[in-house]
Amino acid sequence: MDPIESIAVLRRARAALSGSVGFVPTMGALHRGHLELVRRAAAEQQHVVVSIFVNPTQFAAGEDIARYPRDLARDLAALADERVSLVFAPQVAEMYPAGATTRIDVGPLATRLEGAHRPGHFIGVATVVAKLCHIVAPDALYLGQKDVQQTLVIRRMARDLDLPVQVIVCPTVREPDGLALSSRNAYLSPAERALAPELFAALAAAAQRFAAGERRADALRGLIRRHLAASPAIAVDYVSVADPVELHELDGLVAHAVVSLAATIGRTRLIDNIVLGAP
């Protein structure tokens, strides 16, 4: 399958598709988590469009955009056996031509957790996803639960801007030892990879305690922090027990929460989350 680099060409190809379209936006470095999104879209829609674009506006100064894994030939090979109608792989100048200054800010939701640690990150995410939805015109947009705050930001953006797209969030895909699949896992050394499952193990311990009756938000946060503190090579950025709509930190007793964390192992920053209570 030949990737399309031009917005005009993509729009013509999209107009030729008859029936519903599911869209999977990616930054490439495709793994099984991405392919599960593609397969879900293919099962529910008549066509699937995948984008491969490392979006510069969601990286802050000093982040890993220069070393972010890029291998378009490998990504296309991974999609070759999937039911994908179009692959959109534009260059930066195609998505952000000279003089383009408009950005989308969804408000306080984007300033918490990842937004606090990566200022401006979600402005870049919301902007590029809005542009891609405008270009691809999908009926449904497929996202992974691993990036839980991103899913909430995109839902808010789609709602507030009246985008005619259904946002479908699919479960996190994990390795057998619990590590959430991520393109950044490729950065991990063998020793760091062996340590990385402790992130999910800490979340799972909190879920187990919640199932046993623990409802105090501070107790759940403390349990996760103590679990991670047992591994000094894990540098914790945050541990959050937050409401599942605005991501405000919860105090007191918890009935339903998004429990999330971010931590750095070596030079690799990883995130993960689980949901407690009603789905």
Q: List, by residue number, the catalytic residues.
A: 34
Q: Which residues contact 186 (CB under 8 A, 6 or more apart)?
A: 29, 69
CA-to-CA distance for 12 and 210, rounded, in angstroms?
51
Residue 245 token pair: 């709509």
CA-to-CA distance for 213 and 207, rounded, in angstroms?
10
Sheet holding 166-170, edge to edge: 86-88, 47-52, 21-26, 140-144, 166-170
Q: What is the 3-state secondary structure (H, E, C) of 103-116?
A: CCCCCHHHHCCHHH
Give the Cβ contact number of residue 62 at 10 Å: 6
Q: Identify whether the C-beta of residue 21 lies closer than 8 Å to the C-beta of residue 48.
A: yes
What residues are paired with 276 via a beta bridge?
257
Q: Which residues contact 103 (CB under 8 A, 6 or more apart)?
A: 57, 123, 124, 127
Give the Cβ contact number of residue 215 at 10 Å: 15
Report which of 112, 139, 134 is spatially closest to residue 19, judged by C-alpha positions.
139
CA 141 to chain centre: 12
Which three-class secondary structure state does DSSP give residue 52? strand
Specify the DSSP class assigned to residue 253.
B
